[in-house]
Homo-oligomer: A and B are copies of this chain.
C-alpha cells in the first residue's frame, strides 16, 4: 500500500493528474542519495529488531485475532471505495469547507449503505469503526448521532420513548444531535439559559432561547444535517424552575431539509479542524413540543402538572461518562497515528555529525517512547473502565441504586482519564510534530491535520481543569470519609480510591524505602507504595490547607495535579495487575506479555519522574532518589529504543490511513513525498498574479546600473 493510491485509481481526473506529474518528473533529478538508499534498509532492520511477535501484539492491540482480521477487511473495503477514500482522485486537503462538509456526509451515507448491504453485521460495524479511525471528521459527525444522541435517548428516556426513537435512530431515518453547550455556558451546566416551560393548557413544553447567550453553540450535525436534537433546558412548571431536563426536538423536515417553524439554525463556519463536521448554533423561538418528548426515565410529569424530579440531579449528566470514555478511545486512535508517523520518520531520517538515525538522539526517544507506552497503558485502562461501566449500567438496565452508589467513582475516573490523557496527548502531538522537523508543517504528512482536529479535545467534552478538579474533590471527599461506605464485591466494581483506606499508614511513611530506582522495574509494589504515599500525603496537605483557611481556588492547581497523579497511578495499578502475571499465563502470548511488562515498568518510572516534585515537596523523595529515578527513566527508554517500530507497527495503520509519505511502511519516503507535492493543484507554472503584482515591480530598469 502506498501513501497515495492515486496511481491505482481509474478515475479520469486521476489519470490526467498522473500524466501531468509524469511530465514534471521527467525533468527532475530523482536519483537516490546515500540517505534515501539507506532509509528502507533502516526500516527493515528496525522491524527485525522487535523482540516480540509484532503480529501477535497487533492482535492484542486490536482486541483479539477476530477483530484484527475484521479491521484488515474493513480497511480494504475503505481503500477500494471511491466514496470513502479521501485522497483520490482529489486530496481532501485541497477541499473547501463546503466540499469537506459534503464529502463527509457522503462518507456517512456510504458507510450506512455498506452496513445495510452486508450480511456480515460485524464487518459492517467494523467498516464504520475503521472509517472513524481513517477520517476524524466522519468520526465526530457519526458519533454525534450514533452515540451522543442515542445515549441520551436510551439512558434518560423511558421505555416508550426508547421504543419510539430507537428504530429510526438505528436506521438513520432521523439524524440526531446533542444540544447542550450554549454561547454563554458550557462547563457550568446549572447556569444554562434555555428554558422548557410547561403549558398546561395544551400539554406542551415551550422550548425557548431567551437571550443571545442562550443560543446553543458548537452543536455538531446541527449546522446542516440533523433532523432532531436532544436539548437540555431549565424546566419551568407553574412559573418555577424545577431543574434541568432533556427534551427531544425536531429541527428540520425529514423531507425537505427546511428548518421547522420556530427553529433558527446557522453553521458555525470555519474551525481549526474538523472541517467536515457541520457544527451549528440553534435558537428556539417559543418552539412547542409534546410533553411526551421530555425524556422521562428518571423524572416524570403527569397531565396534572405533578413533577417528580430525578433521585439525584447528576443522573441528567450520566451520558457524559460514556462520552468521556469514547473521547479516550478517540485519543488513542488519533495519537497512535501521530506516534506511528513520527516513529517511522525517526528511524529512516539520519542527521548530525555521525549521521545517526534521529531516533537515536536522547531528546527523540525519551519523548516518543513513553508516549507509545502510554497508548498501550490507556487502552488497557479504558477497556477496564468500559467494563466497569457495563457493570453499572447492566447493558442499559441501570439499577438506580447500583448506579448511584458508584457513579461518583466512575465519573471521577472517566473525567480524570479524559483530562490526563487529553493533556498528555497534546504534549505527545507536539513531540511528534517536533520530531518530524519541518516536514510536520506540511499538511501532506498527517500530523498537522491530527493536531488541527485534536485542538478541540482539551476543552470539548468537559474542560480538563474542571474534570480534574472534580476528581480531586472526590478524592478529598474519600479521604474525609475514609471509604466509609464499602465496596460491593459482588458487583465486580472496584473503586479507584481503595488505597485511601490505608491513609493513616501512608501518612506515617517517612522517606521512600528504595536506594536504587532500577528496583522499580521489577517490583511493581514498590512503585505503588510510592505513588499511594505521595497521593495520600498530598491530599492530606491540601485538606489541611483548606481547613486552615486556604480557599478551594487557592488550592486549585495543586488539586488538579494530584488528580492527574491519581489517574496516572490508577493506570499503573490496572496494568500492573493485568501484566504482572507470569510469562506463560493463559490468554496472552508470551512475547506480548513480556513487552507489556516492560511498558508497564516504564510507565511506573515515567510517573515517578513526571510527578517527582510531588514526592520531594512532601519530603518523601530525597535528591538522591530523584536522580536515581531520572537515571532509571532515561535508561529504560534507551533499553526500549529498538522496539519502536514493532510497537507502532502493532497499532496496525496501513499507509493510506496515515496519509503521510514520510511515514511509509517500507521506509522509501522521499520520492512519494515529492510526488505528493507535484499532485497539488497549482504546484507549477507562472503565478496567476504575476502580471498584477510582480511584473510591475521587477520589470523596472535600475537607473543606476549599466545593462549587461
Instruction: Show the binding face of A for B, using Cβ within 8 Å.
Output: 24, 27-33, 35-36, 93-94, 96-98, 101-102, 105-106, 108-109, 112, 164, 167-168, 171-175, 181, 183-188, 190-191, 193, 209-215, 217-218, 224-225, 227, 254-258, 264-273, 278, 281, 283, 285, 351-353, 355, 360-363, 366, 426, 430, 433-434, 437-438, 440-444, 448, 451-452, 455-456, 458-460, 463-465, 553-557, 560, 612-613, 616-619, 623, 626-627, 630, 634, 670-671, 673-674, 676-678, 680-684, 686-690, 692-700, 702, 704-705
Contacts and interface: CB of A to CB of B under 8 A. Distances in A.
B27 A188 contact: no
Give 4 closest A-B pairs by Cβ, nearest first.
Answer: A269-B680, A33-B211, A224-B687, A270-B443
A225 B363 contact: no
Contacts of A618: 623
A187 to B, nearest CB: 6
Contact of A101 (B617, B687, B700): B687
A553 B28 contact: no
Contact of A183 (B185, B224, B674, B702): B674
Contacts of A171: 697, 700, 702
A397 to B, nearest CB: 23
Contacts of A285: 27, 29
Interface centre among A93, A352, A616 (most CB of B within 10 A): A616
Contact of A186 (B168, B218, B438, B465): B438
A257 B557 contact: no
A211 B29 contact: yes
A107 B361 CA distance: 42
A213 B698 contact: no
A542 B639 CA distance: 22
Question: What copy number does this chain have within its complex?
Answer: 2
B212 A31 contact: yes
B173 A697 contact: yes
Contacts of A32: 211-212
Contacts of A682: 97-98, 267
28 contacts: A24-B264, A29-B209, A32-B211, A33-B193, A33-B211, A36-B212, A101-B687, A105-B687, A108-B693, A167-B702, A173-B697, A173-B700, A175-B694, A183-B670, A183-B674, A186-B351, A190-B353, A258-B686, A266-B677, A266-B678, A267-B683, A272-B451, A363-B465, A363-B560, A434-B459, A438-B456, A440-B455, A451-B455
A403 to B, nearest CB: 25
A617 B623 contact: yes
A558 to B, nearest CB: 8
A350 to B, nearest CB: 9
A689 B105 contact: yes
Given A33-B184, A616-B626, A674 B215 contact: yes
A267 B366 CA distance: 35
Contacts of A698: 172-175, 227, 254-255
Contacts of A612: 613
A557 B634 contact: yes
Contact of A269 (B30, B193, B444): B444
Contacts of A442: 268-272
Contacts of A258: 686
Contact of A553 (B362, B690, B694): B362
A187 B272 contact: no
A225 B186 CA distance: 46
Nearest to A678: B266
Contacts of A355: 188, 191
Contacts of A459: 433-434, 437-438, 440-441
A526 to B, nearest CB: 21
Contact of A191 (B174, B181, B351): B351
Contacts of A272: 440-443, 448, 451-452
A120 B273 CA distance: 43
A366 B553 CA distance: 11
Contacts of A697: 109, 112, 171-173, 175
